[in-house]
């Protein structure tokens, strides 16, 4: 999914940033758009599962985004019996044609507040070809508005969780310079089914012409025989032809 670069520095609260990213992950080519922005109709339970928040945290983040002007309007549909239905949010339209970074939306529910903020900044700083960056802890602390210790602690958690990789760079003098980080592409873990083993035995083929049996032709399809592929195909067609003719004659 595409996330505008301005989101990382605009939303200082982790819950606001994650909910804004979730809203933009729900935008597709058929999403309605009016003069105020994009119209997104979504259940609150869906936002809870995508963000990994509680219902109260989603409500608190939505009200914060409403005050900041990112959410232009928030309406809730009413069903026929009078029960409350889904929400319809109108969010600010920010262009993702340029100045954006990509992220897998499956990660959102797996990362908590600070971890998501730091990971989003890593995705923003990473180059498009190798997904790597080399900013120091002081640079990340200044960009995120967090203390250096919090940034260091969060980076270590992301490295341990294999969301990013850290590589120490040594200079010619033997000293260590700024670390190089690589953003790992998240792949959902699933059970891989083992392919069934093909039987090595080849079934013998028997052909019958009229009432006289022909010799087994399984050797014709063996790889060791120096027969062409076209000849083998012709032999198969002839076998099918004789089998059909014999069946008709028997009937």
Report the distance separating Cα 11 and Cα 145, nearest Å: 11
Report the distance separating Cα 92 and Cα 71, nearest Å: 6
Angle between helix 148-160 and helix 137-144 axes, rounded to 10 deg = 110
Sign of CA dihedral 11, 17, 23, 25: positive
201 band by pLDDT with thresholds 50, 70 and 90: very low
Q: Return the bridge partners of 39, or none.
A: 32, 90
- Average pLDDT over every residue of 151-174: 82
CA-closest candidate to residue 112, choices 54, 53, 65:
53
pTM of the model: 0.66
Name which residue leads in pLDDT, 250 or 49.
49
**pLDDT at 127 (0 to 100):** 82
- Average pLDDT over every residue of 159-173: 79
pLDDT surpassing 50 at residue 210:
no
pLDDT surpassing 70 at residue 200:
no
pLDDT surpassing 70 at residue 189:
no
37 band by pLDDT with thresholds 50, 70 and 90: very high
pLDDT surpassing 60 at residue 211:
no
92 band by pLDDT with thresholds 50, 70 and 90: very high
**pLDDT at 207 (0 to 100):** 41
Report the distance separating Cα 149 and Cα 135, nearest Å: 15
* Strand ranges (E), 174-228: 180-183, 208-209, 212-213
Report the distance separating Cα 191 and Cα 193, nearest Å: 6
Q: What is the token pair recorded at 145?
A: 């508005």
Name which residue leads in pLDDT, 212 or 119.
119
128 band by pLDDT with thresholds 50, 70 and 90: confident
39 band by pLDDT with thresholds 50, 70 and 90: very high
Is 71:5 a contact under the CB 8 Å cutoff? no
**pLDDT at 84 (0 to 100):** 73
SS3 category, 228: coil
pLDDT surpassing 90 at residue 236:
no
């Amino acid at each position: 999914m595409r996330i505008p670069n301005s989101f990382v520095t605009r939303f200082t609260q982790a819950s606001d940033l994650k909910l804004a990213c979730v809203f933009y992950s729900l935008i597709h080519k058929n999403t309605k758009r009016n003069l105020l922005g994009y119209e997104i109709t979504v259940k609150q339970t869906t936002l809870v599962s995508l963000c990994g928040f509680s219902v109260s945290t989603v409500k608190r983040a939505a009200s914060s985004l409403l005050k900041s002007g990112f959410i232009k309007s928030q309406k809730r549909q009413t069903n026929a019996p009078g029960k409350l239905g889904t929400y319809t949010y109108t969010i600010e339209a920010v262009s993702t044609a340029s100045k954006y970074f990509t992220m897998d939306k499956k990660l959102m529910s797996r990362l908590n507040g600070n971890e998501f903020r730091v990971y989003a900044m890593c995705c923003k700083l990473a180059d498009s070809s190798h997904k790597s960056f080399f900013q120091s802890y002081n640079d990340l602390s200044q960009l995120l508005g967090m203390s250096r210790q919090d940034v260091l602690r969060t980076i270590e958690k992301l490295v341990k969780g294999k969301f990013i990789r850290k590589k120490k760079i040594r200079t010619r003098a033997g000293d260590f310079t700024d670390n190089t980080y690589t953003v790992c592409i998240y792949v959902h873990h699933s059970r891989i089914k083992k392919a069934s083993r093909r039987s090595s035995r080849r079934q013998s083929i028997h052909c019958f012409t009229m009432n006289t049996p022909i010799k087994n032709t399984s050797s014709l399809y063996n790889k060791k025989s120096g027969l062409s592929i076209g000849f083998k195909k012709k032999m198969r067609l002839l076998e099918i032809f004789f089998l059909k003719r014999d069946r008709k004659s028997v009937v």
